Amino acid sequence: MLSAIKGAIAKVQNADELLTGRKLDHDPVVEGLVNDLVDEVMVINSAIQTIQPPQPTLVEKNKNKMDHIAALRGRPLYHPYIGTGAGQGVYVELEDGSVKMDLINGIGIHLMGHSHPRVMKAAVRGALSDVIMQGNLQPNNDYIKLTEKLVQIAGRKSRLKHAWFSTCGTMANENAIKMARQKNSPAKMIVAMKNAFAGRSTMMAEVTDNPAYKQGLPEYNEVLRIPNYDKKDPKSAENALRTLKEHAAKFDKQIAAFSFEPMLGEGGFVPTPREFYEPMLAFCKQQHIAVWADEVQTFARTGEFFAFETMNLGEYVDIVTLAKTVQLGCTLYTEEYNPKPGLIAGTFSGGTSSMTAGLEMLEMLEEGYIGPNGRIQQIHNHFIHGINRLNETTCKGLLTDAGGMGLMIAFTPFEGKKEQAELFVKKLFKNGIIAFTCGKDPVRIRFLVPAVIQDSDIALALEVIEKTVQEGL
**Residues β-bridged to residue 286:** none
Backbone angles phi, psi at 192, to 5 degrees: -140, 160
Has residue 60 been placed in a domain? no
32 shares its domain with 170: no
What letter does residue 319 receive in the DSSP assignment?
E
Bridging pattern class, strands 444-448 and 408-413:
antiparallel
Domain end call among 365, 394, 415:
365
Residues of the chain with pLDDT under 70: 1-14
Total domains in the fold of the chain:
3
Q: pLDDT at position 7, please?
A: 57
Instruction: Tell me, yes or no, whether 411 and 309 share the same domain.
Output: no
pLDDT at 2: 52
Report d(CA 270, CA 186) in Å as an integer: 35
Q: Please provide residue 472's backbone torsions phi and psi, each rounded to the nearest 5 degrees.
A: 75, 180
- CA separation, residue 94 to residues 55, 61, 198, 365, 453 (Å): 10, 12, 30, 28, 19
Domain coverage including residue 175: 128-365
Residue 175 lies in a domain: yes
For residues 191 and 234, give the distance between their C-alpha atoms in angstroms, rounded to a whole number.
Answer: 23
Q: Identify whether residues 356 and 383 lie together within a single domain.
A: no
Assigned domain for 263 exists: yes
Residue 445: beta bridge partners?
A: 411, 437
Q: Is position 54 within any domain? A: no
pLDDT digits (tens, 9 = 90+) for 150-173: 999 999 999 999 999 999 999 999
On whether both 333 and 390 belong to a single domain, the answer is: no
Dihedral of the alpha carbons of 81, 82, 87, 91, in degrees to the nearest 10: -10
Check whether residue 388 and residue 290 sit in a common domain.
Answer: no
Q: Considering the domain boundaries, does residue 118 fall inside one?
A: no
What is the C-alpha to C-alpha distance for residues 192 and 292, in angstroms, rounded to an integer?
10
DSSP strands (E only) in 120-265: 133-134, 162-166, 189-193, 223-226, 255-260
> CA 452 to CA 121: how far, in whole Å?
17
User: How many whole angstroms separate alpha carbon 450 and alpha carbon 90?
Assistant: 7
Residue 318 CB-half CA count within 13 A: 25
Residues with Cβ < 8 Å from 4, sequence gap 6 or more? none
Instruction: Give one DSSP letter per residue of 42-93, joined into a string.
Output: HHHHTT--S-BPPPGGGHHHHHHHHHHHHHHHTS--SS---EEEEEEBTEEE
- 145, 233, 270, 417, 437 from 440: Cα distances, Å: 40, 17, 11, 9, 9
Cβ atoms of 290 and 251 closer than 8 Å: no
Domain membership flag for residue 327: yes
**Co-location of 137 and 199 in the same domain:** yes
CA distances from 58 to 88, 95, 96, 98 (A): 21, 7, 5, 9
Q: Does any domain span residue 23?
A: yes
- Decide: 46 and 52 in contact? Cβ < 8 Å: no
CATH number of the domain where residue 449 is located = 3.90.1150.10
Same domain, 7 and 136: no
Q: Looking at the structure, tell me whether residues 146 and 209 fall in a common domain.
A: yes
Same-domain pairing of 21 and 163: no
Task: Please give the Cα distance from 473 to 470 (Å, whole number).
Answer: 9
| Strand arrangement, sheet containing 433-434 | 83-88, 91-94, 99-102, 433-434
Q: Are residues 357 and 380 in the same domain?
A: no
Would residue 89 count as lying in a domain?
no
- CATH number of the domain encompassing residue 269: 3.40.640.10
